[in-house]
Amino acid sequence: MLASDPDWVLHVDEAILVVNKPPGLPSLPDGYDASAPHLKSLLEREFGPVWIVHRLDRQTSGVIVLARSAAAHRHLNTQFEQRQVSKSYHALVTGNPSWEEKTVRLPLRPNGDRRHRTIVDADNGKPAVTELKVKQHYYGAKVCLVEAIPHTGRTHQIRAHLAAIGHPLVADALYGGGKALLCSQILPPTSFTTDIPLLERAALHANSLEFVHPTRSVRLSFSAPYPVDLARVLHLLGE
């Protein structure tokens, strides 16, 4: 991950840093291993101090913005808190939805069970809204590519909502079956000799992010290309 790689650093200026986070990299130090690499530490080696504005799960890839000053951090935080930021995710989900568009309005409560998952809780949960749109059906493969637009910012919102309506993320160990996506699930038997796993992590990608620049007062939009594992799977599905 180098600053010169256009698939890694999407934008940098005096106030912000926008990057395409790879899957498997936490945004902040891991509570179990504080010395393990994380997004903030890697970026600070090249760009100096950065402030985390929002987070992506360890397994989630895609676009994320960081602040390069305390003032920029405050400005961006306000936008996120006031829901002035537009976010779009691409999710490879299990099953083939009967709908093309759907808005999920299920209240969520974080850390709601023994596995510390976010759960649907009609009595004690906070309002949560996720807009879903099917991008591509893959008939016969039992998976589907969905765009998810969260209108609230609850912990694990997209993962919890998708699981609640019966279409958890592919290979999501926490909210789905957790089993890797295998060759046999998307390819004809004659096209492979060993049934190897093609995707072994929750298939969620932060595809785009739109917000107002903290010092220039212009609205910016960024999108991030798929990481290698997800791009490969979608290519095979498309064939």
β-sheet bridge partners, residue 18: 11, 65
- Name residue 147's amino acid: E
- Check if 57 is active-site: yes
* Residues 172, 89: Cα–Cα separation, whole Å: 15
DSSP element (H, E) containing 39: helix 39-47
**Cα Rg of the chain, angstroms:** 18
Give the residue from 179, 160, 35, 175 showing the smallest Cα distance to 108. Answer: 160
CB 205 within 8 A of CB 215: no
Can you state the percent helix, strand and coil of the chain, rounding each to 5?
20, 30, 50
Active-site residue identified among 13, 57, 121, 195:
57
- Name residue 35's amino acid: S
What DSSP designation does 192 have? -
- The residues annotated with a catalytic role in the active site are 57
